[in-house]
Chain A
């Protein structure tokens, strides 16, 4: 240890000045810089965690393979293999790569006191969560993009009707599942426990999202509940954007697709608002003593 250079800090001459308040643009740039710094470290940790990496990378790919190779799917008239594969991929990527991955990452960081430590720094609460989520989100989005390119190249079906609802599905869906991950950590005491505590969010929305059977088959009240679950509007928006299929089974063109998107978008926005409020209220930054 040396003391050389200690005195070179600006502490000595900064005493008389009031630290400048960054402008709005500077503040945003600073926020992005902090998020990227945290995200880069998190990406290193993800790369070094073989199990987490395997789950994040292989689950969506396996899903795509299962959906497209299912013999029954091919028999359905008007089946759009590419659209089905991409829709399924998006749903699974949000669940496995974003949600599950982030629950384990946040719990691990909380138990290692990393979150507490970060809160003692300059990064804001939301920057810490976004930075931690960054690699998980990047992996999920990359899979969706690559998967879409591959699916449309392979199956060569009709081009998407309107990509905007599909983009909204991915972006809003990501926000919802990041917030749900933050909330799931509240009941998750350890990384091992995450295997159990993530089950409700992994199974219920997936089972009732319309990916495996049409929601019309459900009794009325249950169908209403299913439409309010966080993954259903994602699937609805993907289908609407990719094939122009509405929730009640009609087919619309580009012009008609915007109005049809309003309902599912509203459900997702409500989830973001509710999730954001709840996470702010209940999220734990330190292990419980």
Chain B
């Protein structure tokens, strides 16, 4: 197995990370086994940030572990920088940085001791103080890990992941447990890394994080990739919405408008109407034209494109409808109720 020379141009063409029909099974081939990843495929280009979204148990971390070389695929093929990340671990590891979901540093060491130890295992580490500055932990250098807050531990994880100046950075829920200010500081740091040419693969529960940082993203659900593209493209897979309230004395209903989706006009809870449309401009123009012609005043008029959040929820909902029996987690619960407040709940 001599994979030392992989043409860089070939890697850049195919993607710095490529995942091809990846399957990962836990617990053997019997009935007790469970396929955590079921035929996932995507690729990440050099210098971009690719976000992997999904509900809990969607298979994000299982996918990441294969890419990090921590686990073998049951089926399929993955390449990182042109190499098999598990077999060519010694070639790949010096060029990647890994931020696991948490834990993994002895609680009896200080922040500085931890990073010094980690730096001692790396090929070309940054100075420890530089890494501490980058994550804002310089003032905590002499503190034992058992005395750090969850957010500070998360930032220490990040410092360790970027300590080796990686070309490719894997971030598994990097901002979970951070306060909003630290989260934004982490985003700034990640943007800086992207500007310097680092390629980033990130998983997150925060849709805002993906929307802000990601060049492209994929939504995973039950081991499969069900949507992928730029944040705007993925959001656009969902209909846009126009909501308004008609005057109480208006006798006639809203006519059929071009672009609206079948059964889209629904009375909302507050007596208003919500239209779902695949062509916001066309439908909105027609609506306004009708209102002008009739002299109808549209109260609380609101028109907007779908958000990433709606696309994300639609994925979970689709699966539930198709008898998925997916355990709903915090993310979907929250946003489903948010939807209901907007008056579009079925």
Question: Which chain A residues have a beta carbon within 8 Å of chain B's beta carbons?
Answer: 1-19, 21, 30, 33-34, 36-38, 40-41, 44-45, 48-49, 108-109, 112-114, 116-124
| Choice from A6, A16, A116, A120 contacting B192 with Cβ under 8 Å | A6
* A119 and B70 contact, CB distance less than 8 A: yes
Report B-chain residues with C-beta under 8 Å of the C-beta of A33. 120
Question: CA A30 – CA B113 in complex, angstroms?
Answer: 20
Question: CA A114 – CA B105 in complex, angstroms?
Answer: 5
27 contacts between A and B (CB under 8 A): A1-B182, A3-B188, A4-B133, A5-B130, A5-B133, A6-B189, A6-B193, A7-B192, A9-B162, A10-B165, A11-B193, A11-B196, A11-B198, A12-B197, A14-B95, A15-B197, A17-B8, A18-B6, A18-B8, A38-B117, A41-B114, A112-B104, A114-B105, A116-B104, A117-B103, A121-B93, A121-B122
Chain A residue with minimal CB distance to B198? A11
* B118 and A121 contact, CB distance less than 8 A: yes
* A117 and B100 contact, CB distance less than 8 A: yes
**When A and B form their complex, which 10 residue pairs have the shortest distance between CB atoms, in order from nearest?**
A37-B120, A117-B104, A6-B192, A3-B192, A1-B185, A1-B136, A9-B165, A113-B103, A12-B197, A7-B196
Report B-chain residues with C-beta under 8 Å of the C-beta of A30. 123
Given A3-B188, A9-B196, A11-B197: A21 in contact with B91 (beta carbons within 8 A): yes
Please give the distance in Å from B154's CB to the nearest CB on chain A.
12
* B191 and A3 contact, CB distance less than 8 A: yes
Known: A2-B134, A44-B113, A114-B105. 6 other contacts (CB 8 A): A3-B189, A9-B165, A44-B109, A116-B100, A117-B103, A121-B122
* A1 and B197 contact, CB distance less than 8 A: no
* B105 and A5 contact, CB distance less than 8 A: no
Q: Which of B133-155 contact A (CB under 8 A)?
A: 133-136, 155
Query: Does B274 reach chain A (CB closer than 8 Å)?
Result: no
Report A-chain residues with C-beta under 8 Å of the C-beta of B197. 11-13, 15
Report A-chain residues with C-beta under 8 Å of the C-beta of B113. 41, 44
Report B-chain residues with C-beta under 8 Å of the C-beta of A8. 196
* B196 and A122 contact, CB distance less than 8 A: no
Chain A residue with minimal CB distance to B68? A120
* B120 and A120 contact, CB distance less than 8 A: no
Query: Does B30 reach chain A (CB closer than 8 Å)?
Result: no
Query: Does B239 reach chain A (CB closer than 8 Å)?
Result: no
Please give the distance in Å from A230's CB to the nearest CB on chain B.
29
Report A-chain residues with C-beta under 8 Å of the C-beta of B8. 15-18
Query: Does B335 reach chain A (CB closer than 8 Å)?
Result: no
Contact flags B82-105 to A (C-beta < 8 A → 1, else 0): 000000001101110010101111
| Choice from B103, B119, B185 contacting A112 with Cβ under 8 Å | B103
Query: Does B4 reach chain A (CB closer than 8 Å)?
Result: yes
* B134 and A1 contact, CB distance less than 8 A: yes
Query: Does B124 reach chain A (CB closer than 8 Å)?
Result: yes
